[in-house]
Structure 1
Amino acid sequence: MYSDTGHAGTPTSTAPSAPTWDPQQYLRHTGHRTRPFLDLLTRIPELPRQRARIADLGCGPGNVTALLADRWPEARITGFDLSPEMLQTADRNHAGPTPGGGSLDFRPGDLASWLPEEAYDLIVSNAALQWVPSHPGSFGAWINGLRPGGTFAFQIPGNFKAPSHALLAELCDAPRWRARLAGHGARYVHHLEPAEYLARFTALGCTTDVWESTYHQLLQGPDPVLEWVKGTALRPVLTALGDDREAVDAFLTEYRDRLRVAYPSGPRGTVFPFRRIFAVARKEA
C-alpha cells in the first residue's frame, strides 16, 4: 500500500524489495492514524458537484476511504493502492453502495504512474505520497484531471528526522545489518517542506492552504512505538529479512532497546510526537 499511518504505504512497483503489508498491524493504532485525515477533511472546500467523483490515492485498508462517503454520501469513490493485502481488506470491509446513494470501490494503482482516467471533483491522499519520490512531478497532471473548482488534498508524515526513523536508518547501516539492510530504513521516504508544496501549487494557479501539525500521541501497551512502526516504516526491513525468523527477532530486539531509550514509558503511556504536513489545492472554478 502507499502510506504510513492513517493509511499505510507501499513503494512503487519498480522499487526493489517492495514491502508486503499487514492490514491488521497497520490498523492497531487506527484512532491516532485517522485523526490527521479527519483534520484534513475539515479544510476541504465545497466540491463542484453534489454527486462528486472522488479518488483516494494510497487507500490502504479502506478505513479512511469510507470516511469520504460520510462527508459526501452521494459520491462515487474509488480507492487506489498497490498492495494486494490492503486492497483485499478494503474490498471485503468497505466496497459497495453507500447509504446516501453513492458507491465505494477499490482498484490496483501505482501512485508513481497513476493518471486521472476521467474528471474528478476531489483527489485525496492520506499518508501515502511519502513513499513516492516522484510525487511532486505528478501535481500538474493531477490538477489537470480535476473539474474546475475541484480540489487535490493530502497529508503526509513529516517526522522522518525523529528518533523512530533516525534510529531505524542507523541500525540498518550498522555493521551487523549493512549487507542486507543498508538504506532500507530511509529508502522509501520522500517529501518536500510545507513552503515548497505551497510554491508548487500556487505556480499551478491553485488557491492553496498548506500547514503542519505535530500530534503528541499518548500510546499504550508494551513497546508501543515499535508496534506503530511495524505497521509502516518497518515494512521494507521486515520484507527484506523475509522468513529468517532469527534475524527478524534479533533486529527487532536491537531496535526495540533503542526505542525504549528514545521514547521512555510514563505512568500513563508513551508520548510519541508525530509531525504531519497538509496541503489543500483548489483548482480555479
Structure 2
Amino acid sequence: MTTWDPAQYLRHADHRARPFADLLARVPDLPSAPPLIADLGCGPGNVTALLAARWPTARITGYDNSPEMLDKARVEYAGPTSGGGRLDFAHADVRTWTPAQPYDLIVSNATLQWVPGHVDRFADWIDGLAPGGTFAFQVPGNFGSPSHRLMRELAESLGLAETLRHEDAVLAPQDYLARLTGLDCEVDAWETTYVHLLPGEDPVLDWVKGTGLRPVLTALADDPETREKFLTAYRAALREAYPAGPHGTPFPFRRIFAVARKQG
C-alpha cells in the first residue's frame, strides 16, 4: 500500500486546489437542505474544507484509505462548520465504498486515477444519489507527459513500472460523458491544461514526490541507495524536460472534469 506524506502533498496546495475550485463552480444547486456530501479521496482535508465554504449547512464526510492523510484532516478540519453543518473524516476504500444513504453530492478530487476500473463504480454511486443529486470529479490527464513518461521509464529499469499509473488510468472527457449519460445523467465534461509556474530548485520533482511518485518512493523505502540513484537520474531528466525560466519553472498539467446530475 502506498504511503502518503501530507506535508509533501501540501507543498503545492494552492495549485493542487485550483482544479477542485473550478470543478465546484460547475456543480448545480443541491436538492436537500441541509445537503449530505461525500468526498472520495479527501487527502489532508484542505479541499474538503472548500465544500463547507460552499455549503456551510452541509453534513460532509471525507473518505480516504491513508491513515496519514486522515490524521492530518481530522486535526485541521473536523468538527462543526460556520453555518451549522459538520465536517467529518472516515476510513474507506474507494474501490469498494458504496453509499449507505442518499447523498446530494458525491465528489472526488484527483483520486479516481488510482482506482483501476473506476468507471465500473459509477452506477453504484449514481444509484446512491438523491434525485437531482450530483456526482462530480476531476482527475489528472497528464500520464503521457514527460513527468510521468520519464518516471515510468526509470521505474521499469527497476521492475517497478507496474506500481505506477499508465495512460489508460483515466478516460477522455467524451468517454466519461458517454458513460455518465448512459446512466441517465445530465453531464458536463471538459478538460483544461493549467500551466503552473513553480518556484524553487527542481520543483517538478518536488511536485511529483507528493503524488505520482509515491508508489516508487514507498517501494524503495527500505533501499535508500537505489532510491537515491533513481532520484538522481529522474531529477536530471526532469531538469531537461522542464527547463527553469527567469520567473520559475513552467509545468503544464492537463486535468479532466465531469459533473453528472442525476435526473430528479
TM-score normalized with structure 2 length? 0.98
Q: Is 1:184 aligned to 2:154, yes or no?
A: no
Q: Is 1:235 aligned to 2:214, yes or no?
A: yes
Contact residue 131 and residue 188 of structure 1 kept, 8 A:
no
| Aligned CA-pair RMSD | 1.1
Whole-Å Cα distance in 1 between the matches of residues 149 and 28 of structure 2? 36
> Which residue of structure 2 lines up, in the alignment, with residue 276 of structure 1?
255
Identity rate of aligned residues, in percent?
A: 63
The offset of 1:245, in angstroms, is 1.7
Q: Is 1:90 aligned to 2:73, yes or no?
A: yes
Whole-Å Cα distance in 1 between the matches of residues 229 and 49 of structure 2? 38
Matched residue SS, 1:173: helix
> Which residue of structure 2 lines up, in the alignment, with residue 60 of structure 1?
43
The offset of 1:189, in angstroms, is 6.8
> Which residue of structure 2 lines up, in the alignment, with residue 13 of structure 1?
none
> Which residue of structure 2 lines up, in the alignment, with residue 12 of structure 1?
none
Whole-Å Cα distance in 2 between the matches of residues 233 and 150 of structure 1? 31
Q: 1:182 to 1:130 in 2, by over 3 A?
A: closer
- CA deviation vs aligned residue, 1:106-139 (integer Å, no higher than 9, x gap): 0001010000011100000000000001210011
Q: Is 1:159 aligned to 2:142, yes or no?
A: yes
The residue correspondences of 1:21-32 to structure 2 (distance < 5 A) are 21-32=4-15
Contact residue 158 and residue 275 of structure 1 kept, 8 A:
yes
Q: Is 1:215 aligned to 2:209, yes or no?
A: no
The offset of 1:244, in angstroms, is 1.9
Matched residue SS, 1:156: strand
Amino acid of the residue matched to residue 6 of structure 2? Answer: P
Amino acid of the residue matched to residue 239 of structure 1? Answer: T
Is the deviation greater in 237-246 or in 25-34?
237-246
The offset of 1:188, in angstroms, is 10
Amino acid of the residue matched to residue 55 of structure 2? Answer: W
The residue correspondences of 1:92-111 to structure 2 (distance < 5 A) are 92-111=75-94
> Which residue of structure 2 lines up, in the alignment, with residue 133 of structure 1?
116
Whole-Å Cα distance in 2 between the matches of residues 258 and 196 of structure 1? 32
Contact residue 55 and residue 123 of structure 1 kept, 8 A:
yes
Q: 1:202 aligns with which of 181, 188, 198?
A: 181
> Which residue of structure 1 lines up, in the alignment, with residue 56 of structure 2?
73
Contact residue 60 and residue 86 of structure 1 kept, 8 A:
yes
> Which residue of structure 2 lines up, in the alignment, with residue 5 of structure 1?
none
Contact residue 131 and residue 189 of structure 1 kept, 8 A:
no
In the alignment, structure 1 segments of 5+ residues that lack a partner are 1-17
Matched residue SS, 2:237: helix
> Which residue of structure 2 lines up, in the alignment, with residue 244 of structure 1?
223
Whole-Å Cα distance in 2 between the matches of residues 132 and 43 of structure 1? 24
Contact residue 133 and residue 188 of structure 1 kept, 8 A:
no
The offset of 1:185, in angstroms, is 3.4
- CA deviation vs aligned residue, 1:192-228 (integer Å, no higher than 9, x gap): 1111100011111101000000001100000000000
Q: 1:187 to 1:197 in 2, by over 3 A?
A: closer
The offset of 1:42, in angstroms, is 0.5
Amino acid of the residue matched to residue 75 of structure 1? Answer: A
Matched residue SS, 2:125: helix
Amino acid of the residue matched to residue 58 of structure 2? Answer: A
How many residue pairs end up in the alignment?
A: 264
